[in-house]
A and B are shown apart, each in its own frame.
Chain A
Amino acid sequence: MYRLAKEHKEEKEAMRDVYCNALMQLAEKNPAVISVDADVMHSMGTLEFHKNYPSQAINCGIQEANAVGVCAGLSVTGFIPFFHTFSTFATRRVYDQVFLSCAYSGANVKIVGGDAGVTTAVNGGTHMPFEDMGIMRNIPGMTVIEPTDSTMLRSIVPQIANNYGNYYMRLCRRSTMKIYDDSSEFEIGKAAILKEGEDVTIFANGIMVHEALKAYVMLEKQKISARVVDMFTIKPVDADCIIESAKLTGAVVAVENHNIINGLGSAVAEVLSENYPVPLERVGVLDEFGEVGDQNYLMKRYGLTAEEICRKSIKAIERKK
């Protein structure tokens, strides 16, 4: 079960440190868990793992394609490799390796991308992935997740290790907003319903969950009641929750820190149009490349804001008429 935290403020611990600690806890219990790096341990926060579990850590150097293949090879000998690097390098740079050596081969490789969309910030457009979730979603059998805060991340990492199969998890490396009470637990593939409402459903993930909660308050002031859902797994997406929400509210907004093509918005659209078509509006990056800037600037630049969610919510509701 999950509960919202009393207050949503910036967390003390960075997501990368939470991730590394969760991984170390797994490694302590299970010698098959292996950390595989490609020269960004300092950035990804996995240095502590390397120090504490040297026999379970491999730093391949700057060779992502080989690192993914090594993971596939390790996994077919019974290990559970976690490969982590910046999202761009963990996905589009190694797409064929992930596709063939991991997914098609029936391997058991866990891929973690460290830079969710605009959280890449000052690394800029070359490093800013707005396509990573989409391209990974296209690989058969791949589970695609974006945990929302540290509590969810802690709950999710052991599930990824314990379920056989290939996973892509997208993180932001720095601290994020606290969304959930520390006692919360989550199940991969099961959406978390955060607010009940009647007029519109807002599906969000990652850093956009906090914006969706802000939009909820703003809409409430305009007498609009929004259902807010954290859709942290975009594949397999929680179709039951999408259909139920569409039936309850009759209008939907999907919100993501990602290109609106082939991410959360597309996943929601697919379920709606095949099962229960209702007006859908999407908030996300409108098929553009990333650019350099701090996170706040970029969120405004790409329209990843509570204001934009409100605007699209009202538009979706109007389309019901």
Chain B
Amino acid sequence: MKDYINTVTMERFAADIRIQTILMFAHAGYGHIGGAMSISDVLAVLYGGVMSIDPKNPSWEERDRFVLSKGHSGPSLYAALALKGYFPLEELKTLNRGGTRLPSHCDRLKTPGIDMTTGSLGQGVSAAMGIAMGVRMKGLECYTYLIVGDGELQEGQVWEGVQFAAHQKLDHLIAFVDDNKKQLDGMVEEICEPFDICDKFRSFGWNAQIVKGYDVKEIYQAITQAKKEVGKPSVIVLDTIKGKGCNFAEVVDFNHYMVISDEMAEESIKEIEKKLLKE
């Protein structure tokens, strides 16, 4: 991993993930837009430079592993994988269709590049711990990356896994919390407040950082720092906004799952391109 990144390339990749995801949802007519948008930047950093992967050989033994525990955001991961060449971009149009390799939630048996099946919240955390243990037991140097939702932190299983990872000193495990402040029914702090997420992880024995979750440079630097930590797992809390970067989603209260038209998609893609030019 280099000490610096080309932020322009990375921001372009994040924009492309957003664009492809919005197109995918518009084609299907609906989708889990909010949480897919808020992880687009971290996916761009991971798949755009951090992770050691081979899209032509998805099961390459020495690859870095990735678990999207908030499995309902699968579509943005599919966009990243397609853009990296795991499968044709055209296939994104098959999202949720009968017989597709791209189901609404991540499925390791169906999609090239998906390391773990997720969809029942909390479970991806434990699976990631098992994967991190497994690759370490095999003597591999690879990293396991994990994304958990902020609402997902309400699941008790998350904290079983968090305690386990610290005890097992899984320092090649880097977790991200998509702290986008919203869950299906509304604001996370109104439904079941997580309080200080970094403090919680630190009290469980983790190295914790918080960064702007839509700033690729900050995310990259946090990963660089996390890799220096020895004997401790690391968490990077992504302070972000649900629906981030998609104009129609970002402004509404309930954006976990939305009906999306071609017109909405077109408009939002124009906005994304415009914003990129400005930056």
Contact = CB atoms under 8 A, between A and B. Distances in A.
Contacts of B160: 60, 63, 65-66
Interface residues of B, number: 30
A254 B161 CA distance: 42
A61 interface: yes
Contact of A73 (B130, B156, B163): B130
B46 interface: no
A97 B123 contact: yes
B126 A74 contact: no
Contact of A101 (B127, B133, B137, B164): B127
Nearest to A97: B123
B131 A101 contact: no
Contacts of A79: 134, 137
B239 to A, nearest CB: 27
Given A63-B164, A66-B161, A76-B108, A97 B126 contact: yes
Nearest to B108: A105
Given A66-B164, A106-B108, A73 B120 contact: no
A97 B120 CA distance: 8
B133 A105 contact: no
B116 A105 contact: yes
Summarize B's interface: helix, strand, loop or mixed.
helix
Interface in A48-89: 55, 58, 60-61, 63, 65-79, 81
Interface string B127-142: 1111111110110000
Given A58-B133, A76-B115, A100-B117, A69 B109 contact: no
Contacts of B125: 66, 69
Q: Which of A68, A69, A74, A101 has the most CB of B within 10 A?
A: A69
Interface residues of A, number: 28
A96 interface: yes
Contacts of B109: 105-106
Contacts of B120: 96-97, 100-101
Given A61-B164, A100-B120, A101-B117, A72 B126 contact: yes
Given A100-B117, A104-B117, A69 B127 contact: yes
A126 B157 CA distance: 22
B126 A77 contact: no
Interface in A6-58: 55, 58
Given A70-B133, A77-B130, 15 more contacts: A65-B123, A66-B164, A69-B123, A71-B130, A72-B116, A73-B126, A77-B134, A77-B135, A79-B137, A96-B123, A97-B123, A101-B117, A101-B127, A104-B117, A106-B108
5 contacts: A61-B167, A69-B125, A74-B137, A76-B134, A100-B120
8 tightest A-B CB contacts, nearest first: A73-B130, A69-B126, A77-B134, A66-B160, A63-B160, A70-B130, A105-B117, A73-B131
